[in-house]
Each structure stands twice: as C-alpha cells, then as structure tokens.
Structure 1
C-alpha cells in the first residue's frame, strides 16, 4: 500500500502543478487622450485567437482596473463604452515563471459635444456631386456610428470653396429684340442668396442620401446642418473642407 502511495503522489503533485498556471496581474489605467483625466468605461480583453477572456469597467474616479492574465501572451483590449470613441489596442505581457504584476496606461477619446470628428473635402468647387474620395471617408463615419450607437453627430455643409458673386448686368441686345421680348413675361435671374442656398441644399441632399442608409436610427442620430456663409464669396478656398462632422450628443444607452 505504501509503495502504491509513493507511486501516485508524484503523479498527483505533477497534475496539481500543471493546473496551477503562473499568472500576471494587469493593472490598467484609462485616461482621456485630451485632458489626461481618468475615464470610467467598459472594456473587453481577447486572446490572440479572438476569444473573450475578460470583460469589465474601469473605475470612473481613477480610471483603473485589474485583470488576471497569462504572461508571455499577446492580447487585444477594446474600449466600447457609450462615452468613448470605440477603439482596440494590442498589448503583450512579458514572459514570467512566477506571479507578476504589470501596469499599463491606455488613452481613449472621450466623446464630448462639439468635438470635431472628421473633415472632408467632399465636393469640387461649384459642384454638388460627391468626390470619389468622399465615399470612403463617409463610410468610415457610418462604421463609427454603427460601433457607437449612443453617438449623435452634426454634419456641417459648406460652400466656402466656391466663388459666388453678383452676376454682371447682361450685355445690351438689339433694340428690335429688346422690343419683341418686352412683350413677353421675363423671369428674373436668381439672387446671390438663392444661388448659394441652391448649391448648399443640393450638397446637403447628396450627403444625406449617401450617409443615412445603413446607419441605425440615422434620422435621430445624424443632423445635417447647411451653413450659409457671409456673401459674396469673392475669394473662395478651393481646398476648404466642405463637410465637417462634430459630436452632437452622447447618451447612455440605458437612458
């Protein structure tokens, strides 16, 4: 019997040792990229195969969290709270044969009303047709809105790239033609303000028609804002951004 125990004991100890894996305590701190202040937000950690290992929330007063992981491995951490711009970072823990502690700081973009998210040179001067490069940038905005369903944005449309001045008076016409046309009703040419509004509204419609489809609750979350500048525009800025996106509002999904 003693001989049997002496044979089984090393096997049991080896099994127990295999089950007790060496771990590393990750002590994380989440900070606002702009103010460097602490941020309380939700996160999840995945291994290199994409399996979710940990989910939690950083402390709102200190921005800290602690999770237990295996050393010598690569991980991804995704911050996905309603109050931050969703982002994924990759980090690696150093190898260790004993228990260890590792501190890491992560920076996130805290969403505040008025923060600029995107600038796009979306139109050619005088045109209301989206440029080819604008589609990919608007697609990025769509993805951002679908990943952050609590995010609401205002999309400001500009015409500062286009020259808009009063049209010169029409040239004199032959008296006979003038006399003949005087008998017919004439339509006055559009005013400077009407021309500006026409271009601005056409651009707003182009952005609306492309951006809203495919975004959940788009009508509630996307506000299109056509901006009439001081007229006339005698010195346009051809490379000026014609679409600028700002954070309009951030709401807790539990509200």
Structure 2
C-alpha cells in the first residue's frame, strides 16, 4: 500500500512539473501597430514593457508604419509605458492571452501624439462645489508632474473649470498653491480658468522641435 502511495505522489509531481513547463513555454508573437488616438495615423515611439516578474525591455515602432513584431510570454501581464518626444507619456497594461504553445495575434496601441490643442488629461480633482482637492485629484496631479518630466519639449495649458467665475478663480488659486513646488516645470505651464464644467482640462499649448 505504501509503495502505491509513493508511486502516485511521484506521478503527480511529474505531471505538475510538465504542466508548469508547458505554461512557461507558451509564447505569443504580437504583430503590433501604434497609432495616434486623435489622428488615427501611425506613430513611431518607444514602448517599455515591464512584466510582473523578470526584466523590462524596450521596443520601438517603425517610422511611417508604427509597427513592430515582438515575442511575448503568454498570459503574462505587462505594464506598458509609452515614451518619446512626440507622445504624451502614459502607462497601460497588456496581457497577450493564449492556450497554445505558440500563437500570433494582432494588437493596436493607441497613444496621444503631442500637438497644440490636444487634450492629454480631463480630470475631476475638486470636491463638489468646493475648492478642496480630492485624494484622487492630488494623485492625478502627481502623475501629471511625472509625465511633464519626460515631455520636456512641451508646454501645457491647465484650464480649471467651475459653474461660476468666482469658484473657478478660487480653484485656480488652489491649483497654483498645490503645484508651487513644481519649480522649473512651471515654466512650461499656462494657467487659465473657465466655466465649462467642473473639471481640469490639460491641453498641449505648444511643442518645441527638439531637432532644431
């Protein structure tokens, strides 16, 4: 009886190892294209992929076509960071799914190309009829600060909205106070108030040509 139990445990261990090896061996060839979400045109940028476990790697989409081919581990979740002088820096997640040993899939990544007038953020950062920043609002502004460190060639317009002019002006003061420690980043920010809603609209004001 003891020998049967030992054999059963041994077989289960082998099956478990084979199953794990099969999962590790599953790969997906991703045929990807990167496009500007506003113009729908292909765009050449860098994409940084950080898997849940393992080392990150960077690929670049091609000039003219915005395409790239890359082999990924199947069913692994990657944090994707879109970067470049011509694109607003953002993060997303991507999970290439497959139950086969090898497969190919098509994937389109949409990014926000930098051009005057393009809205990069539409944020609710204030409480209702209030000048107080919410916790989510502060987090959103902190993320914007990080993005601006990478988009060094871009000037942004921060338009604070409220139902009336007085509240909009008071919210604008709160925003300026909160961002007062952004230092040199503020050289690339234009503040403005408006009465078109209850949000903070962040637009591209102008983009410098880094090649000049």
Structure-1-length-normalised TM-score: 0.57
After superposition, the Cα gap between the structure-2 partners of 1:140 and 1:159, relative to the gap in structure 1 and judged at 3 Å, is closer
Please state if 1:101 is matched with 2:101.
no
Which residue is equivalent to 1:143? 143
Please state if 1:29 is matched with 2:33.
yes
Which residue is equivalent to 2:174? 206
Please state if 1:240 is matched with 2:207.
no
Please state if 1:221 is matched with 2:188.
yes
Q: Tell me, what secondary structure is at the counterpart of 2:109? A: strand
After superposition, the Cα gap between the structure-2 partners of 1:204 and 1:61, relative to the gap in structure 1 and judged at 3 Å, is same
After superposition, the Cα gap between the structure-2 partners of 1:60 and 1:91, relative to the gap in structure 1 and judged at 3 Å, is same
Q: Where does structure 2 lack aligned partners over 5 or more consecutive residues?
A: 1-20
> How large is the Cα RMSD of the aligned pairs?
3.6
Which residue is equivalent to 1:166? none
- Name the structure where strand makes up a greater proportion of residues: 2
How many residues matched? 184
Map residues 157-176 of structure 1 onto 2, 5 A cutoff: 157=160, 161-162=164-165
Deviations 1:118-169 (A, max 9, x none): 35574887xxxx6234563254133123134214311235676158xxxxxx
Post-superposition shift, 1:65?
Answer: 0.8
Which has more radius of gyration? 1
- Aligned residues of 2:79 and 2:91 also touching (Cα < 8 A): no
After superposition, the Cα gap between the structure-2 partners of 1:217 and 1:102, relative to the gap in structure 1 and judged at 3 Å, is same
Map residues 62-73 of structure 1 onto 2, 5 A cutoff: 62-73=65-76
Post-superposition shift, 1:43?
Answer: 0.5
Deviations 1:64-100 (A, max 9, x none): 0111233453333221223323122221231333x43
Which residue is equivalent to 1:38? 42
- Aligned residues of 1:152 and 1:247 also touching (Cα < 8 A): yes
- Aligned residues of 2:28 and 2:98 also touching (Cα < 8 A): no
After superposition, the Cα gap between the structure-2 partners of 1:138 and 1:82, relative to the gap in structure 1 and judged at 3 Å, is farther
After superposition, the Cα gap between the structure-2 partners of 1:205 and 1:59, relative to the gap in structure 1 and judged at 3 Å, is same
Q: Tell me, what secondary structure is at the counterpart of 1:55? A: strand
After superposition, the Cα gap between the structure-2 partners of 1:224 and 1:118, relative to the gap in structure 1 and judged at 3 Å, is same
Q: In 2, Cα distance between the equivalents of 1:89 and 1:49?
A: 14
Please state if 1:47 is matched with 2:51.
yes
- Aligned residues of 1:29 and 1:58 also touching (Cα < 8 A): yes
Q: In 2, Cα distance between the equivalents of 1:59 and 1:84?
A: 14
Q: Which has the higher contact order (CA 8 A, sep 6+)?
A: 1
